[in-house]
Amino acid sequence: MRDSRETFINHAFVTGFPIKHSRSPLIHGYWLKSFGLLGSYRAHAVSPDAFADFMQALRDGTSGFCGGNVTIPHKERAFALCDRPDELSRELGAANTLWIKDGLVHATNTDGYGFTTNLDERAAGWDNCDRAIILGAGGASRAVIQAVRDRGVKTIHVVNRTLEKAQDLADRFGPSVEAQAMGDIPDLIKGAGLFINTTSLGMDGTPVPQIDFTTMAKGAVVTDIVYVPLKTPLLAQAEDQGLRIVDGLGMLLHQAAPGFEKWFGRRPMVDAALRQIIIEDMEQHL
Ligand code: ATR
In a domain, 266, yes or no: yes
User: Are 256 and 238 part of one and the same domain?
Assistant: no
The mean predicted confidence, pLDDT, of the chain is: 95
pLDDT > 80? residue 210: yes
Please state, for a pLDDT cut of 70, what percent of the chain lies above it: 97
CB 193 within 8 A of CB 148: no
Closest-lying ligand 1 atom to the alpha carbon of residue 141: 4
pLDDT confidence of residue 82: 98
pLDDT confidence of residue 205: 72
Per the structure, the complete domain to which residue 149 belongs is given by 123-247
75 is catalytic: yes
User: Are 262 and 242 part of one and the same domain?
Assistant: no
Return the residue whose CA atom lies nearest to atom 26 of ligand 1. 201
- Please, which pLDDT band fits residue 247 given cuts at 50, 70 and 90? very high
pLDDT confidence of residue 7: 59
Q: What number is the average pLDDT over the span 97-101?
A: 97
Give me the DSSP letters along 37-71: ---EEEE----GGGHHHHHHHHHHTTT--SEEEE-
User: Are 203 and 263 part of one and the same domain?
Assistant: no
**Any idea what the CATH number is for the domain that residue 72 is in?**
3.40.50.10860
pLDDT > 90? residue 158: yes
- Please, which pLDDT band fits residue 203 given cuts at 50, 70 and 90? confident
Ligand 1 site-directed mutation target among 96, 161, 197, 208, most atoms within 8 Å of CB: 161
Q: Is 162 in the pocket of ligand 1 (CB under 6 A)?
A: yes
Q: What number is the average pLDDT over the span 23-37?
A: 98
Q: What number is the average pLDDT over the span 87-105?
A: 97
pLDDT > 60? residue 112: yes
Q: Which of 178-182, 198-202, 237-241 has the lowest mean pLDDT?
A: 198-202
In a domain, 82, yes or no: yes
pLDDT confidence of residue 2: 46
User: Are 158 and 226 part of one and the same domain?
Assistant: yes
Q: What number is the average pLDDT over the span 196-213?
A: 88
Q: Which amino acid is at 164?
A: E
Question: What distance in Å separates the CA atoms of residue 59 and residue 49, rounded to the nearest whole number?
Answer: 18
Ligand 1 site-directed mutation target among 200, 201, 228, most atoms within 8 Å of CB: 200
What's the Cα-to-Cα distance from 58 to each of 54, 55, 62, 66, 69, rounded to whole Å?
6, 5, 7, 7, 12
CB 261 within 8 A of CB 108: no
User: Are 223 and 277 part of one and the same domain?
Assistant: no
Q: Is 165 in the pocket of ligand 1 (CB under 6 A)?
A: yes
In a domain, 1, yes or no: no
Which among 33, 75, 154, 218 is annotated as catalytic? 75
User: Are 267 and 233 part of one and the same domain?
Assistant: no
pLDDT > 60? residue 4: no
Q: What number is the average pLDDT over the span 189-199?
A: 98
The pTM (predicted TM-score) of the whole model is 0.95
pLDDT confidence of residue 204: 74
Return the residue whose CA atom lies nearest to atom 16 of ligand 1. 161
User: Are 220 and 276 part of one and the same domain?
Assistant: no
pLDDT confidence of residue 3: 47
What's the Cα-to-Cα distance from 155 to each of 115, 182, 215, rounded to whole Å?
18, 17, 17
pLDDT > 90? residue 127: yes
